[in-house]
Amino acid sequence: MTKDEIIKEIMKCEVDPVYFLFTYVYTQDVETGEIRKFGTFTGKHDKPEYAERIKELIREFDTCRLNNIDLHIDKSRQMYATETFCGFALWCFLFVDNFRTLLTSEKESKIDKKGHPDALLNKIRFMLYHLRPFLQPDRKEIDDNHMTLFYKLKNTAILGEGGDDPGRQGGVNISWADEFAHQPHSSQRFLALREATKNSLMLCSTPKGKNNKFAEIKFNQNSTFKKISLLWNLRRIKEWYDMKKQQYAGDDAGLAQEVDISYEGSIRGKAFSRFVPGMHVRDFNMDTLRQKLKSATVICGIDLGWAHPTCFVFIARIDGVWTVFEEYEVSETPIEVHAENYKKILTRWELKEGQVIRKGDPSGAARSRETGETAYELFRKSGVNIDQADNAVAAGIQLINTLFYKDQLIISSKCARLIDALNAAEFYTNINGEAVSEKYREDWYTDLLDALRYAIISAEKAKPRGPAVTQSSLARGYVRR
């Protein structure tokens, strides 16, 4: 190519990510090692015309970037969505000045791990280092480190972050959450990503039931996310699906979720099986909620701990429905500090001290061997009086499920840790999936859920009307329709 031809090609690539990817980018098949041009669908079970859908997807990514649109993509397995975004992220890296892309996934090793070609950043590195020489930046201009690619000349970066607080550095333009339905603590991660992302937050995943933030957004009709579905038959012929049915024989839920984009799945062993985030999690205007709280009954459930966190869960009866509007979870902190933090919460919500009923962990009545004082007495010294809560475990779990079943319990979307706890909590079960105890497993979520139980069982003493959700029905598990 002549110098003028090279300049023209660079200009074409700069203005059109579809042209750039389909003309100059190569990918590697992680199973066979085969190198092929981007967007090539010539396999035994592929439909070559799927390339046109991938071109549409690239344009969708760019539209979202330019217009600050969030994107929700649910898909069957192996739909080339992740590879497509990796290619688009490379285009932004090379041609959009001062641009930051953030990648997250279920595990850090799926974002970046040496020797793993399927890791997101390794996919991008392969595309970058297999470009024609005239498109490759000077290697001196590239900082290539673990979880980071930085292009000094353009001041662009592709960053990877794991953990429950991605985007800690802030100020990214696009965040890509890969297999988001399978990421733990998805509500907490979502809030962190939302805070860090300036232009477009993109969530992509096969479904994993209804108990996660990915499903909540899917079924929230008021969500501002643009929603796209990529079903297997766009890319594959029927013989591929028949082969998958054989592979998933005996696992109908797995086939439904991984291939058919079904959000229905087994809830065997789930402690709060009636909790459906899409129905029971809502966004509230803080000022409006603060006004309604002025005349509401407010109850604070309190679970005490040291190595385990001390937790507060605030609920109020608003418009005839119990609403969880505040959560607090802090470990290894003196009681006087917890008491001050409790008072700060009251101030933030403009609540009067006498307006709040506090129900606490029964262990708070036990006397310390060192001081001879109870935790309740120490709180009282700091101006916070706590009454002992009813610790009827099975009854509390049943009551919470019944309130969800009757749509009489709502969780604020700001209570991300509690939402994740309700999604994650499971009973101890035997090999048949049958509950062997009346309480959920001891895990990271136990303390917040205990605080919720104390608040709810104190607030709702009357037996619920209509069908109750029994412990045995929770333990058996079923497919929600």
Q: Once rounded to an integer, what is the mean pLDDT over residues 476-481?
A: 35
pLDDT at 368: 76
Question: Does 345 score more than 50 pLDDT?
Answer: yes
> Are the CB atoms for 193 and 175 separated by under 8 Å?
yes
Q: What is the mean pLDDT of residues 374-378?
A: 93
| More confident position, 210 or 268 | 210
Q: Residue 90 in contact with residue 123, Cβ under 8 Å?
A: no
AA letter at 349: W
Determine the pLDDT at residue 432: 67
Residue 395 exposed, middle or buried by CB count within 10 Å (0-12, 13-18, 19+): middle
- pLDDT value of position 254: 80
Q: What percent of the chain has pLDDT over 90?
A: 69
Distances in Å between the Cα of 136 and the Cα atoms of 125, 126, 132, 354 are 11, 12, 7, 67
- What is the per-residue pLDDT for 467? 42
The answer, yes or no, to whether residue 478 has pLDDT greater than 90, is no
269, two tokens: 């062993």
Instruction: Report whether pLDDT(387) > 80.
Output: yes
56 has pLDDT over 70 = yes
Rounded mean pLDDT, 265-280: 79
| pLDDT score of 388 more than 90 | yes
More confident residue, 331 or 269: 331
Q: Give me the pLDDT at residue 75, please.
A: 95
With pLDDT > 70 as the criterion, what percentage of the chain qualifies? Answer: 94
Mean pLDDT of 45-51: 95
Provide the pLDDT for residue 33. Answer: 81
* Model confidence band, residue 434 (pLDDT cutoffs 50, 70, 90): confident
Residue 469 has pLDDT above 70, yes or no: no
Query: Which tokens belong to 190?
Result: 């979502």
**Tokens describing residue 217:** 């957004």
Average pLDDT, integer, range 172-184:
95
Give yes or no for residue 464 having a pLDDT over 80. Answer: no
For 273, 274, 438, the CA distances from 471, given in Å and listed in that order, are: 11, 12, 8
Q: Is 203:71 a contact under the CB 8 Å cutoff?
A: yes
Average pLDDT over the chain, rounded to whole?
A: 90
Per mean pLDDT, which of 91-100, 106-115, 349-358, 439-448 is the most reliable? Answer: 91-100
* Residue 164 predicted with pLDDT over 90: no
Residue range 45-65: average pLDDT?
Answer: 96
The confidence band for 481, taking pLDDT boundaries of 50, 70 and 90, is very low
pLDDT digits (tens, 9 = 90+) for 241-252: 889 888 888 777
Backbone angles phi, psi at 230, to 5 degrees: -120, 95
Q: pLDDT (tens digit, 9 = 90+) per residue, 105-143?
A: 989 999 999 888 899 999 999 999 999 999 999 999 999
Q: What's the full length of the chain, in residues?
A: 481
